[in-house]
Amino acid sequence: MSNKRPLIGVTPWYDYDKQLTFIKKGYCEGVNKAGGLGVLLPMCTQPELMENMVQSCDGFLISGGPDVDPKYFNEMNLPFNQDISPYRDTLEIFITRRAIELNKPLFGICRGIQIMNVAMGGSLYQDIHSQINDRKLIKHSQAAPRWYPTHKINVKKDSILSKLLKATSIEVNSFHHQAIKDTAPGFEISSLSEDGIIESIEYKNHKFALGVQWHPELMWEANSVFLSLFEGLVQSCK
C-alpha cells in the first residue's frame, strides 16, 4: 500500500524590492496536517513552466495576499485600490483556469477566492467600504488576534462548505477590503456574511473548487473545524 501524499502546490508571496519568494505560516502546515504534502511553488510567469506546475501537482492552494489588478475585470485602478502583484496575477490566473479545465482540486483563501472569481470572468469591489453604499457594513479588517473569529457567516445547506464544516452558520476571522461583486459563470455562492458580503464560492460540477474570503490557515490550530477545509482539498486529490 502506497503512503504517497497528494502534492498540493501553494502559490507564493513575492517581495519585489528584495526579490524574495515566501509564504506565511499556516498554508503548507494546514495541507500537511490534513494528509497532503504542501509545496511552495516558484514565482514564474513563463507559460511552459506554469503548465509544468499544473501537470505536476495533484491540487492547488491559492494563498492570500495583495489586491488583484482591476484590469483583469475591465476596470480602472481606482484610488482606494492597494498593492498589486503582476507576477502573482499571471501565475494564479493561469493555475485557476487550467485547474478548472482539468478538474484538478483547487482551494482559494482571501485573495485566492478573488483570483478564482476574476480568472473565470467575475468582478470585485476594489474597496467594499467605498463602493457599497446601500447598507451598513460590519468590520472586515479586524483589530483582534489573527486566529480569533469576529463575525458570523451563513452557509448554504448541502454546499461543499456546509458538509466540510458540518454547520450552516459559523464565526470566522476577517482581513480584507476587497470582495466579490459579480460572481463568475460556473460559480455558486455558498456563504454570506451578516451584511451580505460573499464569503465563499464553489464551482459547479467540479471535483473540488472552493474559495473562502476568510483565513482558515490562521484558525485551524485554535479550532480544528477549519482544518476540514484543507482535508477536503487533500481528500479530493486521492
Whether 110 is catalytic is yes
Q: Which helix (H) or strand (E) holds 37?
A: strand 37-40
Catalytic residue among 140, 176, 206, 215: 215
pLDDT tens-digit profile, the chain (238 residues): 468 999 999 999 999 999 999 999 999 999 999 999 999 999 999 999 999 999 999 999 999 999 999 999 999 999 999 999 999 999 999 999 999 999 999 999 999 999 999 999 999 999 999 999 999 999 999 999 999 999 999 999 999 999 999 999 999 999 999 999 999 999 999 999 999 999 999 999 999 999 999 999 999 999 999 999 999 999 999 8
Identify whether 140 is a catalytic site residue: no
Q: Which of 92, 199, 217, 231 is catalytic?
A: 217
Q: What are phi and psi of 62, to 5 degrees?
A: -90, 115
The yes-or-no answer on residue 57 being catalytic is no
Catalytic residue among 57, 110, 151, 237: 110
Secondary structure (DSSP) of 111-165:
HHHHHHHHHTT--EES-HHHH--SS----SB-SS-TTS--EEEEE-TTSHHHHHH
Domains of the chain in sequence order? 7-236 (3.40.50.880)
